[in-house]
Structure formats: C-alpha cells, structure tokens
A = this chain, B = another copy of it.
Amino acid sequence: MIVQSSGRMAQPVAGFRFAAVASGIRKDGRIDTALAFAERPATAAGVVTRNRVKAAPILIASERLRGGELSAVLVNSGCANACTGEPGLTAARQATAAVAKELGVPEARVVPASTGVIGELLPAEKIAAHAPELVRALSATGADDFARAICTTDRWPKVAEAVIETPRGAARVLGIGKGAGMIHPDVGPPQATMLVFLFTDAKVSERELSGALVPAADRTFNAVSVDGDTSTNDFVLALASGASGVEVPADALRASLEKVCGELARSMVRDGEGAEHVVEILVRGLATEADARQIAKTIATSLLVKTALFGREANWGRLLAAAGRAGVAFDPNVASVSVAGIEIVRGGVSLGAEVEAEAQRRMQAESFTVELGLGSGAARFAYLTSDLGHGYVDVNAGYRS
C-alpha cells in the first residue's frame, strides 16, 4: 500500500495544489514559506502539541480547526513564532490574512504553522510581500517544494504516500513531515517542532477524519523520541478534499493514515540530529499497554541507552536500569533482553560474552530492534528512538548562533 518517497516525485492528490517560495525569513536565502491549497473547502482534523507553552500559530490553528473545514495551510520555517505574546498572534493573523486575500478565501479558513527558533517574532510583512508570488506558484505537482521549504535541521524532506483501494475506486493519501530535533511529540485533541500535513482526496466526514487521525498520531508520532523534548509547535493536520469522489471505510482510512504517519515518524527518527541508527524499543510481557509504553518510553529517552547505541554496545545493564526507573512494577529476575535478534539476557542474567559480541556486530545495522521481555502479561508497546552522539551535541550546542 505504501510507497516511501526516495527521491521520486510525490504524486498529485486530487483537489490540492502546493507551492513554496523564499520570503527571506531564513538568513540563508533558502525557500522558507510553503502553501497547500484545497480548491474547495476541505474537511479538516488536527492534533497539536500538549506542551503548556503553545506557539502563536498553534493557538490560531486550534481556533480555526473548530470550523471543521479549511482552504489552506501556510507554513514557514526559520521562525517558530513561539513565546512571542500578543505580537506573535497578530503576526500569524497578518500572514494568513495576506495569503487568504490572494487566494480569495476567508482568513478563518487558512491555518498557520511555524518551525524554527523559539522567541523570534514571525516577520509577517515578508510573507505578505511574497503572497502573490506564492499563490501564483501553486501547482498540483508542488508537494516536493512544500516538503523542502518546511525543513529546518532535517537532512532530507519527508514524504510518504498511500493508496486506499475500494471496489468503487481508489483514494490517495499524501503525508509531508519535517523534524529531526526537539522530537518527542505529544499531540492530542483538541490540540509537533514536528510538522505533519496529510492530504487525501477521499470523501470523509470531519468525524471520520478526526477518528482516524487521533489514534494514528498517538501510535506513531507519540511513540518516537529523538531527544525527549516536546516542542511548542508540534502540529499534525489532515485535509480531505473529497475530489476522488471515493468514500473509504473507516478502518482503511485509519490504517492508511497510520502507515503514512508511521513512515514519516520513522524518517524523523532516522534523521534524528546526528543519529546513525533507528532503534525500535519493544517492551512486552506487561499487564497493560500503558505499562509497556511507559517502560518503552523511559528506555527510548535514556541518555545512557542512547549513547550506548551510538557506541554500538549491547549494554543491557543500562536497558534494565532504565526500565527499573519507569515507575512500573516488574520482576527483574524473569527479564529477557534481545538486541538485533540475539537473546543476550535470560532470567535476569547475561547469557555470556559470546552472544553479546554477536549482538554488537549486528548493531552496526542502520536499523534494529531491542526487545525486553519483562513478564508473562499479554501487553506490549514499541517506541522508536535514535542513538545520540557527537552530532547531536554539535547541532544543539550552537543552533541559534
């Protein structure tokens, strides 16, 4: 069902057009302002960061999402417009108003999204000055420009696609995301600097779209971590144009959103600042999924675990120590640990240096699983994490400079 973007062009989705221009927000002159436009008002659903500190565009988007229908999303990189008070809200309104005017749609049907440095005010006048150029550039094949314009520390743009086949025809889903740092999303209704935009030409109601998006985001974006830091600007928005005329079953919609979101989430972790590996932390044997998730999250965010992964060390002691501080009861004496398919701990004790050495050889792989069995319960949960090394320090010790 899924075709991951790897250099090939994103396929058009009926009813949507895309564009990107350089408005001069980024100092390096790269394209920094992206627009997605639904030719007719699209059914909309979104989830935003649960961080108590929410950026101005998040506050405005949340308000405008209540209408259930949107015509456009205006995204900028280079400035988060977070912690900018009332002037930040005004700037976000001015930028969306300028674009809405060019598009000939009500301002309330254009939502803003921003990513970049916190504390800097959005230069609305730069976006307003480039609004005519931006709208003229709109094209059914502009999604790749859109994807590049919203990148910040990303090493590559993130696009994933799905096709939902039904007896009455096919509908497409296109997902565009960005994010490589400050990645530990916690998004939920009614509420990324993960930004994700999902476009489908399926014919769905707001309720169906929201009902598919919320669990899909929770099982994908809310189950990945690069650095444990949740952004003030995280935002996942789904827009359905209905232009295919194809009604899709709720479970197919949810499955396709979860697959597209899952691909984008994995791409963000793989692009984790300075990261060399994507590691799935699979915790099983607990009584409840919430318990399994809590332990998986604690391991996935442990600095000692992440530096050991960078060092390609099958340091299972750090895995169990992190599990032990998650606040969930389990018996360490029954614990098993497998790394990259090699069981290295059984009954809470090491199976020896030989199997550890073999596991460490397999940890050279770009992607592998670390599995902890912590009991006989039926519940399990998987978190995606990255290793953490010198690259992360380089990116983050001097990001603003």
Residues of A within 8 A of B (CB): 50-54, 80, 82-85, 87, 117-119, 181-182, 186, 227-232, 301-304, 307-308, 310-311, 313, 315-318, 320-326, 328-330, 332-333, 345, 347-350, 388-390, 392-393, 396-401
Contacts and interface: CB of A to CB of B under 8 A. Distances in A.
Contacts of A400: 313, 315
A325 B401 contact: no
Given A329-B52, A393-B310, A397-B311, A231 B85 contact: no
Given A83-B348, A85-B349, A348-B85, A323 B52 contact: yes
B182 A321 contact: yes
**Interface-centre pick from A181, A318, A323, A330 (highest chain B CB count, 10 A):** A318
Contact of A53 (B52, B228, B320): B320
Nearest to A326: B52
Contacts of A87: 349
B51 A324 contact: yes
A329 B230 CA distance: 16
Given A229-B302, A230-B325, A317 B348 contact: no
Contact of A118 (B53, B303, B317, B389): B317
A186 B326 CA distance: 12
Given A348-B83, A349-B85, A393-B307, A52 B325 contact: yes
Contact of A318 (B85, B229, B345, B392): B229
Contacts of A325: 50-52, 186, 229-230
Nearest to A184: B325
A322 B231 CA distance: 8
22 contacts: A51-B325, A52-B324, A52-B325, A53-B323, A82-B321, A84-B349, A85-B333, A118-B315, A118-B321, A119-B317, A119-B350, A181-B304, A182-B304, A182-B321, A227-B303, A228-B302, A229-B325, A303-B303, A303-B396, A307-B392, A313-B398, A390-B393
Given A52-B323, A321-B51, A349-B83, A304 B390 contact: no
Contact of A52 (B54, B85, B302, B332): B332
B396 A321 contact: no
Nearest to A314: B400
Contacts of A332: 52-54, 83
Contacts of A304: 181-182, 227, 229, 396
Contacts of A307: 392-393, 396-397
Nearest to A348: B85
B308 A397 contact: yes
Contacts of A350: 83, 119
**Interface-centre pick from A50, A52, A311, A348 (highest chain B CB count, 10 A):** A52
A347 B230 CA distance: 22
B401 A311 contact: yes
